[in-house]
Amino acid sequence: MVKIIDGKALAKQENEKTAHRVEKLKQKGIVPGLAVILAGEDPASLVYVRNKQRKAEKLGIYSIQKNFPATVDQATLLQTIEALNDDPKVHGILVQEPLPKHLNGQALVAAIDPQKDVDGFHPLNVGKLYNHLPGNYPVACTPRGIITMLDSLNFNYVGAKVAIVGRSILVGRPMQALLINRDATVTMIGRQTPDPAAIIKDADLVIVATGKANFLTASMVKPGAVVIDVGINRTPEGKLVGDVNFEQVKAVASAITPVPGGVGPMTIASLMSQTVDLAEWSLENAKG
Ligand X SMILES: Nc1nc(=O)c2c([nH]1)NC[C@@H]1CN(c3ccc(C(=O)N[C@@H](CCC(=O)O)C(=O)O)cc3)C=[N+]21
Known catalytic residues are 52, 96, 119
Give me the numbers of helices (H) and strands (E) for the chain, helices first please: 10, 11
β-bridge partners, 256: 4, 227
The H or E element containing residue 65 is: strand 62-68
Kindly write out the interface string for residues 7-46 of this chain, putting x where it contacts ligand X by CB under 6 A and - elsewhere.
-------------------------------------xx-
User: Out of Mg ion, ligand X, ligand NDP, none, which partner does residue 189 contact, by CB within 5 to 8 A per kind?
Assistant: ligand NDP
Site for ligand NDP in 140-169 (CB under 6 A): 142, 165-168
Residue 93 known to bind ligand: no
User: Out of ligand X, Mg ion, ligand NDP, none, which partner does residue 96 contact, by CB within 5 to 8 A per kind?
Assistant: ligand X
Kindly write out the interface string for residues 60-89 of this chain, putting x where it contacts Mg ion by CB under 5 A and - elsewhere.
-------------------------xx---
Out of 19, 51, 74, 214, the only residue in the binding site for ligand X (CB under 6 A) is: 51
Site for ligand NDP in 91-150 (CB under 6 A): 97, 142
How many residues of this chain interact with ligand NDP, rule: CB under 6 A? 26
Residue 166 known to bind ligand: yes
Reduced DSSP (H G I as helix, E B as strand, rest coil) percent helix, strand, coil of the chain, to 5: 45, 15, 40
DSSP state, 216?
Answer: B
Is 231 near ligand NDP (CB under 6 A)?
yes
Report how far residue 144's alpha carbon sits from residue 165's, in angstroms, rounded to the nearest whole number: 17
**Ordered DSSP codes for 223-282:** TT-EEEE---EE-TTS-EE-SB-HHHHTTT-SEE--SSSSHHHHHHHHHHHHHHHHHHHH
C-beta of 86 vs 247, nearer to Mg ion? 86
Is 264 near ligand X (CB under 6 A)?
yes
* Beta-strand runs (E) in 149-225: 161-165, 185-189, 205-208
Longest dimension (CA), the chain: 56
Nearest to 146 by CA among 166, 122, 125, 124: 166
Report how far residue 271's alpha carbon sits from residue 75's, in angstroms, rounded to the nearest whole number: 26
Residues of the shown chain interacting with ligand NDP in the complex, contacts defined by CB under 6 A: 44, 97, 142, 165-168, 170-172, 189-192, 196, 209-212, 230-233, 263-264, 267
From the annotation, which residues make up the binding site for NADP(+)? 166-168, 232
Residues of the shown chain interacting with ligand X in the complex, contacts defined by CB under 6 A: 44-45, 47-48, 51, 94-97, 119, 141-142, 170, 232, 240, 259-261, 264-265, 267-268
